[in-house]
Structure 1
Amino acid sequence: MRPYAAEPGREGAAERSRRGPRARRSGGRRIINKRTSFMATVVLWMAVCWTGSFYAVEHSGWTPAPLVGYLAATSGGFLLFGLSMAIVGRFIQRHNIELFKAIFDALSRISRGDFSVQVALPRPYDEYDEFSRLVQGINDMAADLGRMETMRQDFISNVSHEIQSPLTSIRGFARALQDEQLPPEQRRRYLAIIEEESERLSRLSDHMLRLASLDSEHHPFRPARMRLDGQLRAAALTLEPLWSAKEQELEVQADPLEIEADEDLLRQVWTNLIHNAVKFSPERERISISLVRDGDEAVAEVANTGAPIPRESLPHLFERFYKVDKSRTREGGGSGLGLAISRKIVELHGGSIAASSDEEAGTALTVRLPLRQPPQGASGVPDGHPPA
C-alpha cells in the first residue's frame, strides 16, 4: 500500500490548541473509543483462539478425562493466541523500526543542514495518534528551519550588497584623491561623497543593530501615558528642513489622543513614515498626516501623492531590505530597513501597519495602535521587556 506523505501545510500544534475545549473533549472521546475498540478486538480474537482450540480437541478423536481435555483445550487456546500475537507484534515491530529508522535518518540530515526532509507516514494522518504527531512535528520543524535558512542567506546577501555599494564608492573616490593634479573643487566634491557614503554605512549599521535588538525579546519596552497627537506634530516639525527644501505642503489633522506606548520607540516610527513620504513625493506636492480614534485603537495615517506603489510590491513593502525600485542607488539613500523597523515597533505595541496605493489617492501608510497596553503582571512579561 502506498504510504501517505505528511502534508507540509498541515496546521501546527498552536493552531490545534486554539480549537477550544469542545475539540479537546472530542479528541479525548476518540482516544477512548480507539482503546475500547482495540481491547474488544483482543478479547474477540482470544475467544476465537479458545473456541478453535476446544473444537480441535473435541474433534481430534482423543478421549481424555474431562479435566484433562479442558486443560489441553485451554492451553492450546493460550498457545494459539500467543503465537498469533507474536506474529502480529513482529509485523508491527518491523513496521515501527522502519519508521524510526526514517525518523533518525531525517534528524541526521537536519543536523547536517539538509532541511528538505519529509518523513512519509505509513497511514493517514491522525492528530490524536502519537506517531502521526511525531512525524508531523519533524516535518514542520524541517520546513521552519528551511525557511529560516533561506531568510538567513537572503539577509547575508542583502547586507553584503548594501555594504559593498558604499565601500566601492569610498574606495574609488579615495583612489581618485591620490591624484595630486585634481582640481580643488573636484577634490571637495569627492570628499563630500566619501563622507556621505560613510554616513550611509553608519545608518545601515545602526538600523541592523536596532532590528537585532528588537528581534531579541530583551529590547527595553517601557510604555507610559503620552499624547500621540503631540508626538506626530513634533515629528513633522523635526523633518521640516526636508519638506521645506522640496517646497512641499505638510498638513497635520490630529485629534487630541492619549495612549499608552513607548515614546522613544514610536518616535522612530513617525520619523520613518514621514521621511519616506517626503522622499518619494515630488516637489510642491502635499503630504497629509491624520490621527483619529477608532474604538479602543488609535489610527494614524501618513499619505502622499507621489508615484503609486505597484500592487505586487505592497505585500513585501515591510520586508527587510525590500526596495520597490531595485535600481535605487546612492541618490535614493535608503537601505530598505526603515519600514521593517517600523512594523516591528508597531507589533511590539500590539498594533498593525498596512499600506495602500493607487493612481488617484496616492500612497497611504496606516498604523493602528491599542490605546492601552495589557498589564505587565497579567501577561507574565517582566518590566523592560516587550509583550509576547
Structure 2
Amino acid sequence: MRTMRIRKFIFAGLLSVIILSRLFYGILGFVIQPIVSHQTQTKAALADRAIREITGSVDKWRNADWQKTIQTKFKASGIAVSITDPSGKKIFQTGPYNPKQFNSQQVMVIEDGKMRGTVKLFVFNHNQIYGILSAVIAMILAIIFNRWLMGRYVLKPLAAMSSAARRIAEGDLDFRIPTSRVTEVADVRAAFEAMGEGLRKSLKRQATLEEERRFFLTAIAHDLRTPLFVLRGYLLRLEQGKAETAEKAARYLSVCRQKSEQIERLVSDLFVYAKTEYMEQMDVNKREPFDFGLWMKEMIEHYRLLAQAKNVEIVDESGEETACPVQGDPHLLERAVGNLLDNALRYTLAGGKITVKWYRKGNQVCFTISDTGPGIPEQDLPHVFEPLYRAEKSRNAETGGTGMGLTIAKRIFKAHGGDLTAANRADAGAEFSGWLPLGEPIHVFRK
C-alpha cells in the first residue's frame, strides 16, 4: 500500500476541505436551486400583489384596522412593509427586519401631481440564506470526511499501538494494528509488528530452551549419578576390605578407573558443549590457516591403531586430492572429526570398514565419513544432533557415548561457516557429510 508523509497528508487534508466544500456546495446548489427559484417566484408574485394593494389604499395608510390587517396578512409571507410620508417620517411598518436578509422594492406614490409617500417592500432573500446554509453544510461534510480519514489512518493506528503497548506490558503479544497510509505511522506500525513478532519468537525460543534445559539437567543428573553410584560402591568395598584377593582388588580398581574416565569424558563434553554456544562470536584473527587434506590424513593415522585393535579397517578414498586450504581452529576441528570417527568405531563391528573421503567443490572443501555399522534408525535421524539425544534409549555408556559428541561436532562446523549432516547409506551403515569454506591458498617458502 502506497503511503505519504504526514506533512503531505495534512496538506492534502486541508486541500480536500476546500475542494470538497466547493464540490458539496455545487451539489447542494444543484439540488436546492429549483426549490429556491420556486420560492423566489412565489415571493415576487406576492410582492407585486402587495404593492398594488398598498398603493391603491393611500387613504387607509393611517387607519389602525387597515394596518392591523396588513400586519397579519404579510407576517407569515416573509414580506416586510414600510410606509413613510413625503418628509421621510414613518407611517407604518410590519415588525423588525434585517435589511441584509431581504431584497427591497421601493415605490413612490404620487396622486394628482402630489407626493403622498413612499412604500418599501422587503422580500426575504432565499438565495442568500440557502447559499450560506449550503456552504456551512458543505464545510461540515468536508470536515467530517477528513476527520474520518484522520481517524482511520492516524488516530486509530496510534490508539491500537497504545493498546498494544499496554498488552505487551501485561505479557499479551496477540495484537494487530490497522494499516495506515501515513508513512510515519506506517513505519511505526511496521516496527511495532516486527517487535511483536520478535518477542513472540523470543518467548517461543525461551520456552523451547527451558524445556531443553530441564531435559538437559535430568539427563546429566542421570549420566553422572550412574557412574558415581558404581564408583562409590566399589570404593566402599575396597574400604571395607571386601576385596579378599589381589585379583579382585585389581578388578575393583579397574572398574573405578573406567567410571572415573566416563565422568571425565562427560565433564569434558559438557565444557566443550558450553564453549561451542559462543563459538559463532569467535574472533576470526584467532583462526589459523592449514591444509585440510594433510590434517585429515594425520587424523586417520591417529585412529588407525584404534581401528586395528577392533579389527576395523579405515580406508582413505581421497587419493591425490589437490590442496584444500581452510582457516580455523585445528584443535576444535580435531575434536569434531574425532567425535565422528569415535562414533563410527563404536558402531562398526569387527571385520567392518570405515571410509573417509574429502574433495573440493566450488569454494568449499567437503568430506564424508561412512561406516558399515547398523546405521541410524529413521525415526532418530532428525534428532541425532540434539544434545544428549541417543538412539539407544537405555543411556548405557557401554553401548553409547555421552550423547553430546555429534552436537558438539555440528556446532564446531557451523561456527567455522560450514555444516554437518547425517544420513544412512543405501547398502548399510551411517554416513556423515560436512563441509567448510575454502580459505586463502597457503604459500610455503623453501630455502
Correspondence 1:200 to 2:247:
no
Q: 1:102 to 1:373 in 2, by over 3 A?
A: farther
Per the alignment, do residues 355 and 224 of structure 1 end up closer, same or farther by CA in structure 2, a change over 3 Å counting? Answer: same
In angstroms, what is the RMSD of aligned CA positions?
4.0
Q: Which moved more, 1:76-85 or 1:294-303?
A: 76-85
Identity fraction in percent:
19
2: distance between equivalents of 1:342 and 1:229?
18
What's 2:211 paired with? Answer: 153
Distance in structure 2 (CA, Å) of the matches to 1:90 and 1:227 = 66
Q: Return closer, same or farther for 1:181/1:208 CA change in 2, 3 Å cut-off.
A: closer
Alignment of 1:170 with 2:233, yes or no, is no
Alignment pair present for 1:371 and 2:438 = yes
Measured after TM superposition, the shift of residue 335 of structure 1 is 1.9
The residue aligned with 2:396 is 329
TM-score (ref. length: structure 2)? 0.63
Rounded Cα–Cα distance in structure 1 between residues aligned with 2:266 and 2:127: 95
Residue correspondence of structure 1 range 106-185 to structure 2 within 5 A? 106-109=168-171, 117-122=173-178, 129-130=186-187, 131-132=189-190, 134-175=192-233, 177-179=235-237, 180=240, 182-184=242-244, 185=247
Flag structure 2 segments of 5+ consecutive residues without an equivalent.
Answer: 40-100, 103-124, 442-447
Q: Report the Cα offset of residue 286 of structure 1.
A: 0.9
Q: Output the CA distance in 1 between the equivalents of 2:135 and 2:334.
A: 85
Contact 2:16–2:142 (8 Å) recurs in 1? no
Q: What is the rounded CA distance, in whole Å, between the counterparts of 1:104 and 1:189 in structure 2?
A: 68
Paired position in structure 2 for 1:97: 159
In structure 2, distance between residues paired with 1:243 and 1:334 = 17
Name the counterpart of 1:81.
Answer: 142
For 2:289, what is the secondary structure of its paired residue? strand
Length, aligned pairs only: 338
The 2-side partners of 1:227 and 1:87 are apart by: 70
**Matched residue SS, 2:389:** coil
Whether 2:299 is the aligned partner of 1:235: answer: yes
Larger radius of gyration: 2
Change (3 A) 1:174 1:188: farther
Q: Does 1:316 align with 2:383?
A: yes
Runs (5+) with no aligned partner, structure 1: 1-26, 111-116, 375-388
The answer on whether the counterparts of 2:17 and 2:143 sit within 8 Å (CA) in structure 1 is no
Shift of 1:50: 4.1
Calculate the TM-score normalised by the size of structure 1: 0.71
d(CA) in 2 for partners of 1:267, 1:44:
73
1:299-336 per-position Cα deviation (integer Å, ceiling 9, x unaligned) = 21111000021223223222222222222312135122
Aligned mates of 2:424, 2:357 — CA distance in 1: 17
Q: 1:309 & 1:98 partners in 2: Cα distance?
A: 52
Q: 1 or 2 for the larger relative contact order (CA 8 Å, sep ≥6)?
A: 1
What displacement does 1:352 show?
Answer: 2.4
Structure 1's 36 and 307: CA in aligned 2 closer, same or farther, altered over 3 A?
A: farther
C-alpha deviation, 1:66, in angstroms:
9.6
Q: Return closer, same or farther for 1:150/1:87 CA change in 2, 3 Å cut-off.
A: same
